[in-house]
Each structure stands twice: as structure tokens, then as C-alpha cells.
């Protein structure tokens, strides 16, 4: 039985396919379109999933869409009636977007024009946004029972949802309705700090350690915690919600309206322009916004633990990408075990919607835990060689052992390596399949990567990939972090040893590398360890202000226009 899950007409559109409960493939549409956060119908991701499953669209038994336009419909109507409409075009935009979801069989017919649209419509399941998020975390987790938390900007008129997962079922406990949203709160201050683009929130998180959380008390007037374990925002600080939040347009690129109001400017000062320098005040505000957001996440989680009495927590949603908060959860709540999927953001909706149908609706048993994110595109050695020959690119082919030695030597000698190996990752993190790698011992590695390759803000950190067996030697918290989803303190005595991956506050967003999950990447790091004594590599995504590379062509083009020293495409090495 095949279930196809999709996230469509929403940022980070994606597709995932399961066969008898086993994940066959999952990927984001942006990887093919080369447009970050692409938000249309994920036709190329769907076609990829069908190819990986070796089936046609007519052989798919169920199609799960992580969107339900009818969810909380009465509340949506009441909200519009009770609030003056700031922009009817914004309302019309949302209406048209919902219409596309309800007539989505027309888009599928463009993929396969032999499909019977009436029959296809009977296979479609609309799964509410946050239920899809919860399903993506719980049904993929190792837990038979867990508390569940989904938290993001907004989806299907909900911004936060809590629940309990038991076996193959999810029970919803509570929710917070739009426009009360910690995601919108965080985005508004991200914009106010001069980072206006969709997805820029990680910049605020990276900037926060450079400041002191001096303004948390002032922010309590913006974000208030409720005794029932939920929260509310003071709407005076935000632009009218009926004026529109996100638009997609004909180009399917998500654009976020300016979310903060004049009242926020009156209270906190003028918004920083993108070209203006970052002052200590801006850094302190970033630290304060990050701190109160963490406190809110702990507030939600702690109340959920007391309500359920459970020790396991599954988290998803856009705010679940706040890896700094994630790393503090077990130290600031009574939860002992945390699972966050590789695609905790909206791309994971496709996987979650499919799992919701498989478990919740069709009543099949819970699947095996998912600890790998390698579900995307892959290319054989022959395909890569044919491509390089067609481009007249000089390369050398090595067997595995020699390949690892050559790549490790390049890293030891101060080189930067583009590493393209196996199946691409599902989610926003490069995990050793589509990565740019460097020596973490180099104090200048961060500046080198930022200035010559990544071309991004100097305050943004780079992550350490560490062999799983050595975590306790380098980090103060020992945990499996397969998807680079948590930040932990690095032991003080190791800061000088690995300065390139130690953030200004002494932390690192680690990825624990398991030899059974990532054998080639593990072997490369272990080869580096044998040469240096350090079981860590600096790992950042293989891209340059674009989606992560998806094909040998993308990788080669990125290599040629940047200053990487070596490109490894499976067993082929290209050097300058």
C-alpha cells in the first residue's frame, strides 16, 4: 500500500511517499526549483517520490495533504466579522490559496493526464496543519507514549497545539488560535532587527549570544504566559492580522508582510534597516527575544508534562527549529527524552500527513523509528562520471579508503571540501550528504567560510559533526542528536581546540554521527580523527545563498563560483 503525502501551496512545499508504512522517499520542492522556501504545488518532488517507489500516480492508494481549509472554519469567519478587514486583497489571497487545495486533483492531472480525477479525489485526505506536525514527530519517534507539542507561526488558524500520542493514535489536548502566535512574535522582532526575509529567524537566534537579555521584562508586555500553560500576545504590538501575514504570488515565493506595529516602534525604538550596523542594543534585544521565547517553550512543555505525567516529548513546527531552546528542554523541564524530526518545519508536513493517514485513519501499527534524514535525491558513480565528462571537468576516481584519506588530508592542510555523498537530506540541515566541510581546529575557518563561500553574516555559527561515541568528551550534555536539532554547551577545556565550531557563548549545534546511519560520513570523520585526534568536522550546508545542492550539476556550479579547495562527488575528486 502506497501513501503519498504533500505540503502544497504553503512555504517549504514537499512530498513524501510510504510503502506499507516504510518511508521510501521525502524531499522539498525547493531542491529542484532552486528557489528557497518554494510554496506552490510540489510536482517535481512528487515525481521524484514516484520514481523512487517505481510506481505511477494511479498506483498510489492514498494521498495525504497537510492542510484542511475547513479546520476551525467557524472561528475563521467569526474572526473576520469581529475585526475590520485591513486588506480585502489579503483575504482574497487566502481564499484563492484554499481553493487550490480543495481542487488539487487538477494539479495531479498535469503530472499524469491519464488519471481519473474523480477516482483520484476519493483517495485524498485533508489533514489539519498542526496534526500533521504532531504526526511527523510522534509516529516517527521511538516512543510508544509521549506528550506532543507543535508550535509555529500559523497553519489552518492554529499556532500551537498540544496532545498525547499513544501507540498509533494522537489525542489533541489544547490549541492556541491565530493571531496569538509565538512564531509571529519571533518573526516580527526578526524583521524589526533588520532581517526581513521569510526564514530569517535563525539570524536572530545566531545573533542572540552576542548580547545580554536585558529587556525580557519589557517583552512580558508583548508576550504573556497563562496559568493554563498557554499564552497570548498583546496585539497592539503587531500589524492588523486581517491585513495579511504571508503572500505567495504567481512566483510561489513566500513573502512576509511587515508584522510589527507603530506601537512596537514607540516602545522599543526605530526598526533597524538592513544596511545599518548592528549595535549592542540590537544584540541585547535579540538575546532578550530569544530568552523569553525559550521561557515560553519551557512554560508550554512543563505544563504539558504535569498534565500528562509523561517523560517523553515530541516537538515539531517552525519554532521547533529553534535548536538553542531544544537543547535546553531536558534541563529546564521534567521531560527526559525529546524527539524532533529532521524536517520539523513545514516541509515535514508531507511526511506527517502521510503518517497521520497510515496510523490515525487507517489504524495500522506505529512504524519503526526514523533516525535517518537521507531520503532525497541520489546519483550513481556512472551518472556523475558521465556528467563530469560532458562538462570536460578533470577528476580522479578513488576507492573508498583512498578517497577518505585524500579528503581528510585536504581538511588537515586547511582546505575546504564540498562533500556530495549518497542520498540528500530531508530538512533544512546538511547532515553529511550535501555538506561543506572544514577543520574545526582552525580559528580562521569561520571567517574564511563566511567571506569566501557562504557570503553571510559574520555572527552566524557553524556546526560540529561529531562521532557519536565521543560526545561526552566534548559536550556537557550527552544525547543523540542525529538531525542537528539541539544546541549544547561545549566543555570549557575544548573551546580552544575546536574554535571554528564553538559559538561566542561556548555552545555548538551538534550532529551526532552514527556509523550505522551515515557510514561514509562517519568514516571520513574517523579518518580525520586518526590524523588529528579530533573526532569532529565543521559542517555547513552545501549551498551559497540558495537551496542546498541537489544534483552533481548544482554541486559543481557552487564549487566553481566559490573558493572551495576540493569537491567530492561520490568517488570522484575534483581539485583546483
pLDDT at 216: 98
Q: Are residues 126 and 155 in the same domain?
A: no
pLDDT band at 79, cuts 50/70/90?
Answer: confident
Task: Give the global pTM.
Answer: 0.96
Domain holding 37: CATH number?
3.30.420
Measure the CA–CA gap between 241 and 55, rounded to whole angstroms.
43
pLDDT, tens digit (0-9, with 9 covering 90-100), for 24-65: 999 999 999 999 999 999 999 999 999 999 999 999 999 999
Measure the CA–CA gap between 568 and 571, rounded to whole angstroms.
7
> What domain range includes position 456?
381-575
Q: Among the three residues 88, 106, 134, which one is the final residue of a domain in this structure?
A: 134
Rg of the chain, C-alpha, whole Å: 23
Q: Are residues 163 and 93 in the same domain?
A: no
Let me know: does 261 contact 236? Beta carbons within 8 Å: yes
Asked if the model's pLDDT at residue 90 lies above 70, the reply is no
Helix then strand then coil, in percent of the chain rounded to 5, is 40, 20, 40
Residue at 354 is within a domain: no
pLDDT band at 221, cuts 50/70/90?
Answer: very high
pLDDT, tens digit (0-9, with 9 covering 90-100), for 232-269: 999 999 998 767 678 888 899 999 999 999 999 999 99
Asked if the model's pLDDT at residue 89 lies above 70, the reply is no
Measure the CA–CA gap between 256 and 246, rounded to whole angstroms.
5
Q: Are residues 115 and 190 in the same domain?
A: no
Number of H helices, E strands in the chain: 20, 23
Q: What percent of the chain has pLDDT over 90?
A: 87
For 17, the enclosing helix (H) or strand (E) is strand 14-19
Q: Are residues 273 and 412 in the same domain?
A: no
pLDDT band at 73, cuts 50/70/90?
Answer: confident
pLDDT at 473: 98
- Region 9-26 average pLDDT: 97
- Region 125-143 average pLDDT: 98
Strand positions, DSSP E, 478-526: 486-489, 507-513
Q: Among the three residues 89, 111, 134, which one is the final residue of a domain in this structure?
A: 134
Q: Are residues 306 and 443 in the same domain?
A: no
Q: Which three cell numbers stand for residue 239?
A: 500589524
Q: Are residues 170 and 219 in the same domain?
A: yes
- Region 500-519 average pLDDT: 97
Asked if the model's pLDDT at residue 483 lies above 90, the reply is yes
Helix ranges (H only) for 61-200 are: 73-82, 88-102, 105-111, 117-123, 129-138, 182-192
519-532 and 400-412 are packed helices; what angle lies between their axes, rounded to 10 degrees? 50
Mean model confidence pLDDT for the chain: 95
DSSP per-residue codes, 431-470: -SSEEEEE-TT-TTHHHHHIIIII---TT---EEEEEGGG
Residue at 351 is within a domain: no
Q: Among the three residues 343, 362, 390, which one is the final residue of a domain in this structure?
A: 343
Residue at 100 is within a domain: yes
Let me know: does 248 contact 91? Beta carbons within 8 Å: no
Let me know: does 324 contact 487? Beta carbons within 8 Å: yes
Residue at 361 is within a domain: no
Q: Are residues 463 and 555 in the same domain?
A: yes
Contacts (Cβ under 8 Å, ≥6 apart) of 416: 436, 437, 438, 448, 449, 453, 563, 564, 565, 566
Taking alpha carbons only, the member of 247, 10, 253 closest to residue 126 is 10
Q: Are residues 111 and 173 in the same domain?
A: no
Taking alpha carbons only, the member of 191, 198, 190, 200 closest to residue 289 is 190
Asked if the model's pLDDT at residue 95 lies above 60, the reply is no
Q: Are residues 288 and 403 in the same domain?
A: no
Q: Are residues 333 and 205 in the same domain?
A: yes
Residue at 350 is within a domain: no
pLDDT band at 452, cuts 50/70/90?
Answer: confident
DSSP 526: H
Contacts (Cβ under 8 Å, ≥6 apart) of 37: 11, 12, 30, 198, 199, 253, 254
Domain holding 524: CATH number?
3.90.870.20
Residue at 368 is within a domain: no
The count of structural domains within the chain is 3
- Region 495-521 average pLDDT: 97
Let me know: does 326 contact 485? Beta carbons within 8 Å: yes
Residue 175, classed as helix, strand or coil, is strand
Q: Write down how long the chain is.
A: 576
Write the burial class of residue 135 (CB in 10 Å: 0-12 exposed, 13-18 middle, 19+ buried). buried
Domain holding 323: CATH number?
3.30.420.40
Q: Are residues 479 and 559 in the same domain?
A: yes
Q: How far is CA 510 from the centre of its chain?
A: 15
Let me know: does 63 contact 120? Beta carbons within 8 Å: yes
Residue 487, classed as helix, strand or coil, is strand
Contacts (Cβ under 8 Å, ≥6 apart) of 420: 433, 434, 542, 549, 552, 555, 567, 568, 569, 570
Residue at 364 is within a domain: no
- Region 355-372 average pLDDT: 97
Contacts (Cβ under 8 Å, ≥6 apart) of 539: 430, 431, 432, 435, 436, 437, 462, 463, 464, 465, 484, 511
Q: How far is CA 100 from the centre of its chain?
A: 25
Contacts (Cβ under 8 Å, ≥6 apart) of 435: 418, 419, 465, 521, 539, 540, 541, 542
- Region 468-497 average pLDDT: 97
Residue at 263 is within a domain: yes
Q: Are residues 541 and 498 in the same domain?
A: yes
Q: Which three cell numbers stand for residue 63?
A: 494521498
- Region 458-474 average pLDDT: 96
Q: What percent of the chain has pLDDT over 70?
A: 97
pLDDT at 455: 80
Amino acid at each position: 500500500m502506497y501513501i503519498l503525502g504533500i505540503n502544497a501551496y504553503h512555504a517549504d512545499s514537499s512530498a513524501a511517499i510510504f510503502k506499507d508504512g516504510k518511508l521510501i522517499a521525502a524531499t522539498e520542492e525547493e531542491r529542484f526549483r532552486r528557489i528557497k522556501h518554494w510554496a506552490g504545488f510540489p510536482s517535481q518532488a512528487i515525481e521524484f517520490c514516484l520514481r523512487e517507489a517505481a510506481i505511477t500516480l494511479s498506483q498510489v492508494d492514498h494521498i495525504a495533504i497537510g492542510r484542511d481549509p475547513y479546520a476551525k472554519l467557524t472561528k475563521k469567519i467569526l474572526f473576520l466579522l469581529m475585526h475590520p478587514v485591513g486588506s480585502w486583497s489579503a483575504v482574497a489571497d487566502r481564499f484563492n490559496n484554499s481553493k487550490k487545495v480543495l481542487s488539487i486533483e487538477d494539479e495531479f492531472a498535469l503530472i499524469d493526464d491519464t488519471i481519473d480525477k474523480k477516482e483520484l479525489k476519493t483517495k485524498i485526505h485533508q489533514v489539519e496543519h498542526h496534526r500533521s506536525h504532531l504526526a511527523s514527530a510522534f509516529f516517527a519517534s521511538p516512543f510508544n507514549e509521549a506528550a506532543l507539542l507543535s508550535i509555529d507561526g500559523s497553519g489552518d488558524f492554529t499556532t500551537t497545539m498540544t496532545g498525547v500520542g499513544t501507540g498509533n493514535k494522537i489525542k489533541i489536548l489544547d490549541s492556541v488560535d491565530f493571531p496569538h502566535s509565538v512564531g509571529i512574535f519571533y518573526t516580527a522582532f526578526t524583521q524589526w532587527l533588520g532581517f526581513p526575509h521569510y526564514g530569517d529567524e535563525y539570524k536572530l537566534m545566531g545573533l542572540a549570544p552576542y548580547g545580554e537579555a536585558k529587556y525580557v521584562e519589557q517583552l512580558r508586555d508583548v508576550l504573556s504566559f497563562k496559568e493554563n500553560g498557554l499564552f497570548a500576545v498583546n496585539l497592539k504590538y503587531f500589524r492588523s492580522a486581517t491585513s495579511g501575514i504571508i503572500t505567495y504570488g504567481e512566483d510561489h515565493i513566500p513573502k512576509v508582510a511587515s508584522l510589527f506595529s507603530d506601537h512596537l516602534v514607540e516602545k522599543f525604538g526605530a526598526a533597524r534597516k538592513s544596511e545599518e550596523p548592528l549595535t549592542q542594543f540590537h544584540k541585547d534585544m535579540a538575546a532578550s527575544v530569544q530568552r523569553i521565547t525559550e521561557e515560553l517553550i519551557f512554560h508550554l512543555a512543563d505544563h504539558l508534562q504535569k498534565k500528562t505525567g509523561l517523560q517523553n516529548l515530541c516537538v515539531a513546527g517552525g519554532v521547533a527549529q529553534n535548536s538553542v531552546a531544544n537543547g535546553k528542554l531536558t534541563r529546564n523541564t521534567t521531560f527526559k527524552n525529546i524527539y524532533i524530526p529532521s524536517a520539523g518545519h513545514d516541509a515535514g508536513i508531507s511526511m506527517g500527513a502521510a503518517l497521520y493517514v497510515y496510523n490515525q485513519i487507517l489504524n495500522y501499527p506505529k512504524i519503526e523509528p526514523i533516525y535517518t534524514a537521507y531520503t532525497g535525491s541520489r546519483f550513481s558513480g556512472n551518472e556523475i562520471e558521465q556528467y563530469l565528462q560532458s562538462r570536460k571537468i578533470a577528476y580522479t576516481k578513488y576507492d573508498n579508503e583512498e578517497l577518505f584519506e585524500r579528503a581528510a588530508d585536504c581538511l588537515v592542510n586547511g582546505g575546504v571540501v564540498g562533500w556530495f555523498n549518497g542520498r540528500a537530506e530531508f530538512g533544512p540541515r546538511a547532515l553529511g550528504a550535501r555538506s561543506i566541510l572544514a577543520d574545526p581546529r582552525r580559528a580562521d575557518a569561520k571567517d574564511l567560510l563566511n567571506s569566501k563561500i557562504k557570503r553571510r553574516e559574520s555572527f552566524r555559527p557553524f556546526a560540529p559533526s561529531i562521532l557519536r561515541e565521543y560526545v561526552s568528551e566534548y559536550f556537557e550534555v550527552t544525547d543523540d542528536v542525529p538531525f542537528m536539532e539541539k544546541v549544547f554547551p561545549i566543555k570549557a577545556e575544548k573551546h580552544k581546540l575546536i574554535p571554528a565550531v564553538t559559538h561566542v557563548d561556548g555552545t555548538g549545534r551538534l550532529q551526532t554521527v552514527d556509523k550505522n546511519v551515515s557510514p561514509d560520513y562517519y568514516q571520513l570523520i574517523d579518518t580525520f580523527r586518526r590524523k588529528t585526534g579530533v573526532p569532529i568536522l565543521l559542517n555547513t550546508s552545501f549551498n551559497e545563498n540558495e537551496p542546498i545542492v541537489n544534483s552533481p550539476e548544482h554541486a559543481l556550479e557552487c564549487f566553481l563560483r566559490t573558493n572551495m579547495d576540493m569537491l567530492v562527488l561520490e568517488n570522484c575528486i575534483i581539485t583546483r
